Structure 1
Amino acid sequence: MTMLRSYALNRILQSLVTLVLVSLVIFVGLRALPGDPAIAIAGAEADDATINEIRQSYGLDQPVYVQYVTWLGRALQGDLGESAKTGLPITDIILSRLPVTLELALLSLLFAALIGLTSGVIAAVRRGTALDWLGNGVSLFGLSIPNFWLGLVCVLVFAVWLGVLPASGFVPFTESPLGNLERMILPAFVLGSGLAAVLMRQMRSSMLDALTSDYVRTARAKGAGEWRVVGIHGLRNSLITVLTILGLQLGLLISGAVVTEQIFVLPGFGKLMVDSVFTRDYLVIQAAVLVAAVGYIVVNLLVDLLYSVVDPRIRVRGGAA
């Protein structure tokens, strides 16, 4: 328990340092964009007095390091500023959009895990058979097809030709669970298809290594059933690499959600980022990128801690390092 606590504290400290560096890159990177943020907020037709007033109200007349410390301090308190276009608190805007993206991400993960892990185990157990070839073919297809093309094809087939699912829009789950699922099935399938393909191939590779290891041969020699060998001895040891890949791929869900939400007109976090870029709402862009980075860092931290629980050898090596 002490070693696990030490490992967890070490990983949390690393994540905090990474978060500070990421926030610095986001802040400086946005300031490095061409043009004056005050002019972008006020509009090209604004006079000098209005621009100077905006520059003072947003603290743009202060040194960059002062602006950064002020912004980071407010962000740590949950204050991300106000939108220059709507005047609404950015924290409230993001909180209103996040549930849509989180639901989409969770459904995509569920789809990817059920399809990818199951097909990967079956392909490894039935290596060289038709099921193995079929699984590899489908996974290669999933890796090769871009989200935007697959999304448009799904809308054309299921919404236009067959008319069985809505083409776009969003209904909150609390208002209509069925209507919500009808509108989230296609986006979740599109967003999760690439991740399912990655998980399938990685799971197959890991399972093949596990099934040819010494401890699996020993378990079979002791008379353990095939499904016990696969489910307990093979699957658990194969999940270490898969969890690592899953944590890295979750970042792609965030970037993929931007395209998917645009195609299916979902009022989520990704669409907020795109709309903010088009309207040049710099403060919203800055806050949205920061929240996305925090989510990515937190998810990877949780995955790191999770596979340290699955395999205690990892935290031993981590603690030694």
Structure 2
Amino acid sequence: MLRFLIRRTSGAALILLLISAFTFFMYFAIPQDPATLACGKNCTPDALALIHKNLGLDKPLPVQYWEFLRGIFVGRDFAVGHCDAPCFGVSFRNNQMVWDTMMDRLPLTLSLMLGGLVVFLIVGLGAGLTAARFRGTWIDKLFSGASLVTSSFQIYLLGPIVLGIFVYSTGWLKAPKYVSFWENPASWFMGLLIPWIVMATIFTANYTRMSRSSMIEQLQEEHVRAAKAKGMSSRFVFFRYAWRGSLIPIITILGMDIASLLSGGMVTELTFNLSGMGRLAIDSVTGKDLPVLMGVMIVSAAFIILCNIVVDALYAVIDPRVRLS
């Protein structure tokens, strides 16, 4: 396990380096000078030159990239002040530290992702396992049919419909609004309930179908049939033997869906007018704000890679037959 983690961590560091280099040098292929964003409408050549110096844009690109990487580990000094490590630079638009801006937005994005993940795993796995247990009955057909219908939905389409019905027409729920969990857990939960339901509806279908087919396959395995032949109850065999083996493909698609959760969170934030990392990424692209764009890209990529390493390590925990070498 230790060798596996060391190897994967080394590979992750290389991937993050390549992502940062690609993003950095592709950004400067854009004709527009990023310093004009901070200079404003009434910009003079002297003011533009001063901004270039303050932001370090007067140096060669390789030197700028090296200082960016160095700042992540040891910090940097800017005209607006010192930036402690991890330093991702200063925004071209508002002269705010990028790391501080991301940390302000990150709790909302994590709340969306983790809440949606919990909801669609509970609903999707519960529906899929129930359909497998009652295979061929009306319950199986109901859950299977519902998964086919919900798989065609999109967040930007389903979101306004849910808002129109449960917020504006009936008033049963409040409009989505982020409140810190540490400030008011009840308001945090109610403020994100609709986005969680919408995200879970989109993702649930895949987990319902996958868990159903995986469980049916596990029920045909020899060790499961042997357990039944020994006189064990169907309920005990279902949860003790078949359930654990059926988790492997679920974990596999969960690892791949981490990136989908990030992109789905971005669309969710736009749909419900929430200001998280997704909105920050879009604003950095439209505003040509390189430091913010670089910070969001690296933090998002690091999160996806970390989640995939954890998912791979879980294989050996769930199924002892799997060995990480």
Contact kept? 2:38, 2:94, Cα under 8 Å: no
CA distance in 2, matches of 1:23, 1:9: 21
Q: Deviations over 1:282-318 (max 9, x none)?
A: 3212211221111111111111112232224433xx4
The residue aligned with 2:128 is 120
Tell me which of 142, 159, 162 is aligned to 2:167: 159
Match of 1:283 in 2: 291
Offset at residue 268 of structure 1 (A)? 1.7
The AA in structure 2 aligned to 1:222 is K
Q: Which amino acid counterpart does residue 236 of structure 1 have in structure 2?
A: R
Percent identity of equivalent pairs: 34
Specify the alignment match of 2:34 in structure 1: 37
**CA RMSD, 1 decimal:** 1.8
Match of 2:226 in 1: 218
Q: What is the aligned partner in structure 1 of residue 190 from structure 2?
A: 182
Matched, 1:255 2:252: no
Letter in 1 for 2:26: G
- One-letter identity of the residue aligned with 1:46: C
Structure 1 unaligned residues grouped into runs of 5+: none
Q: Does 1:21 align with 2:30?
A: no
Instruction: Provide, for residues 49-74 of structure 1, a one-character-per-residue CA deviation record: whole Å limited to 9, x for no partner.
Output: 22222223222233322222211221
Q: Does the alignment pair 1:94 with 2:91?
A: no
Q: Deviations over 1:249-291 (max 9, x none)?
A: 0111111111111222223221222333343333212211221
* TM-score normalised to structure 1 length: 0.91
Answer with 198-207 or 156-165: which moved more. Answer: 198-207
8 Å CA contact 1:19, 1:297 repeated in 2? no
For 1:71, which of 63, 68, 72 is the aligned residue?
68
**Could you tell me which amino acid in structure 1 is paired with residue 6 of structure 2?**
L
What corresponds to 1:5 in structure 2? 2
SS at match of 1:170: coil
Aligned residues: 314
| SS at structure 2 position matched to 1:27 | helix
User: Could you list the per-position Cα deviations for residues 167-192 of structure 1 after superposition, in whole angstroms to 9, with x for gaps in the alignment?
Assistant: 23222223332222211100111122
2:241 paired residue among 233, 244, 249: 233
Tell me, in whole angstroms, the C-alpha distance in 1 between the residues paired with 2:321 and 2:39: 57
SS in 2 for 1:275: helix
CA distance in 1, matches of 2:236, 2:18: 46
State whether residues 74 and 80 of structure 1, in contact with CA within 8 Å, keep that contact through their aligned partners in structure 2. Answer: yes
CA contact (8 A) 1:111 1:189 kept: yes
Kindly provide the amino acid, as one letter, of the partner of residue 184 in structure 1: L
The 2-side partners of 1:147 and 1:27 are apart by 31
Task: Classify the secondary structure of the residue corresponding to 1:33.
Answer: coil
- Post-superposition offset of 1:160: 0.7
The alpha carbon displacement at 1:96 in A equals 1.1
Give CA-to-partner distance per residue, 1:189-239, whole Å, 9 cap, x none: 112222221211111121121111111111111122112211121111111
Q: Which residue of 2 aligns with 1:48?
A: 45
**How big is the shift at 1:85?**
2.0
Q: Does the residue aligned with 1:144 lie in a helix, a strand or coil?
A: coil
**CA 1:41–1:207 in structure 2 vs 1: closer, same or farther (change >3 Å)?**
same
Give the one of 307, 311, 319 matched to 1:303. Answer: 311
Name the CA shift for 1:82/1:202 in 2 (closer, same or farther; >3 Å).
same
Q: Name the TM-score, length of structure 2 as normaliser.
A: 0.90
> How far off its partner does 1:159 sit?
0.3
Flag as ranges the 4+ runs of structure 1 deviating above 6 A: none
Partner of 1:191: 199
